[in-house]
Chain A
């Protein structure tokens, strides 16, 4: 199991050890002083760290986050990372995301479609350290491959794949296998793991850009 990045700690909340970061509370999460609980059940990246996947982060990374939704996970990322670009396509959750970004000077919210990197390549910088992806659309592997252009040569990908977004009827394992193959076009896969019990039918993938 890899160590947690600086700025992320396991602390005791409600009687058990849970992940936490330091920052302004966002969604009514439990807090302990300036530490706020990072609920792995509400965050796929949180679940990837909680289940001990081989994520190599030390803190202060520059990040592109695809599928930021209302900013639950990205708020924790911005707490421990450096410049963090948050892409979300749907206007409704972005309203909340803006509230999260207002309190975090290193978080840049953008209302853009992750399937069209050219519409934000004039804003998001090159050579980033980390790409986090949690988009619930068909073609999740293609999104990861298309957005590899933002990563530095050894940049990391933390990808959460939702089987049901690709094909509701297919067996999740079949979907995951196809996605793994497609992702391998641009990345070297480091670790994959199912995210149960935190998220059903989701696969976590950690990879490095080739």
Chain B
């Protein structure tokens, strides 16, 4: 080690003999090259001896690594799976209750609309009879449930890019979370062939097809992606196949590496413009390509 080494060890900003604040230093610190840290720690008075240093190092690394593992695991795919299912349940229940409410409130008030927005307006009214109290109270439940669904959606939009950066960038946070939930987790999604990813969420149609009824589904939940829904019907098969292929790769990168890779997003954009260019070519010559 050189006399004038400028690199700082993980203990540089800590109080002598204390590992308070070590987690941040261990997690976020860096150095261009290693040094004789045990000796440096003794020289700077952080530790009394090398044996003392190793004791502090062990305490610090075990505690810091444990805390970081807990954080990382709580920001995991399973939490996202619960969040997206809860959001869907809250949405669906809010809508069902809103329908019931519209029917009931229509018998009491003249100017009642339907849906969650109408329920929210109703919730602001002042009840004048015990009957109206019940109806308006029900409207408040609808309002609460719809608000919960919105907050879950906000949470998913924040959390999904942490759990699956490539999948979220490609699919959007909510669709990424839905794909993870349908597969049963990010690992399960990463292990599915892209043909399965393509029809996730279209299981009814798929099994009807396998039983000999109907054609094979071209797309499942990925239909909600603009690359599929925004492509003309005769090219949607190609579009969903291309999208599903890249989504599978994105899920595998997210699961096995966790790094963001910009090239797959560019490749997909490139492929999609090729598919969509067919529509322009066909404007002059009649008919599709399939």
Contacts and interface: CB of A to CB of B under 8 A. Distances in A.
A165 to B, nearest CB: 10
Interface string A105-126: 1111111000000110111111
A150 interface: yes
Contacts of A16: none
Given A92-B73, A126-B36, A121 B31 contact: yes
B164 to A, nearest CB: 15
B58 A98 contact: no
Contacts of A109: 61-62, 65
B57 A108 contact: yes
Given A108-B57, A119-B30, A125 B65 contact: no
Contacts of B66: 98
A126 B58 contact: no
Given A94-B65, A109-B62, A125 B36 contact: yes
Contacts, number: 86
A124 B34 contact: yes
Contact of A91 (B9, B26, B61, B72): B72
Given A83-B54, A101-B62, A122 B10 contact: yes
Interface string B19-36: 000000110011111111
A108 B35 CA distance: 17
Interface string A78-112: 00000100000001101101100110011111110
A54 interface: no
A122 B8 contact: yes
Tell me if A's interface is mostly helix, strand, loop or mixed: mixed
B37 interface: yes
A112 to B, nearest CB: 9
Interface in B24-59: 25-26, 29-38, 54-55, 57-58
A106 B38 CA distance: 13
Contacts of A92: 73
Interface string A137-151: 100000000000110
B38 A125 contact: yes
Given A105-B58, A122-B10, A127 B36 contact: yes
B33 A121 contact: yes
A121 B69 contact: no
B30 A101 contact: no
A124 B1 CA distance: 14
Interface residues of A, number: 28
Contacts of B55: 105
Nearest to B27: A111
Contacts of B1: 126-127
B133 interface: no
Interface in B171-207: none
Contacts of A101: 58, 61-62
Contacts of A108: 57-58, 61-62
Contacts of A105: 54-55, 58
B103 to A, nearest CB: 50
Contacts of B68: 91, 111
Contacts of A126: 1, 33-37
Contact of A149 (B33, B37, B58): B33
B7 interface: yes
Contact of A123 (B9, B32, B257): B9
A111 B61 CA distance: 9
Nearest to B38: A125
A124 B61 CA distance: 11
A95 B61 contact: no
Nearest first, the 6 A-B pairs at minimum CB distance are A122-B31, A121-B31, A126-B34, A91-B72, A108-B61, A122-B29
Given A92-B73, A98-B62, A105-B58, 13 more contacts: A83-B54, A91-B72, A101-B61, A106-B54, A106-B58, A111-B68, A111-B69, A111-B72, A125-B37, A126-B33, A126-B34, A137-B257, A149-B33
Interface of B: 1, 7-10, 25-26, 29-38, 54-55, 57-58, 61-62, 65-66, 68-69, 72-73, 257
9 contacts: A83-B54, A98-B65, A109-B65, A111-B68, A111-B69, A124-B37, A125-B35, A125-B36, A126-B34
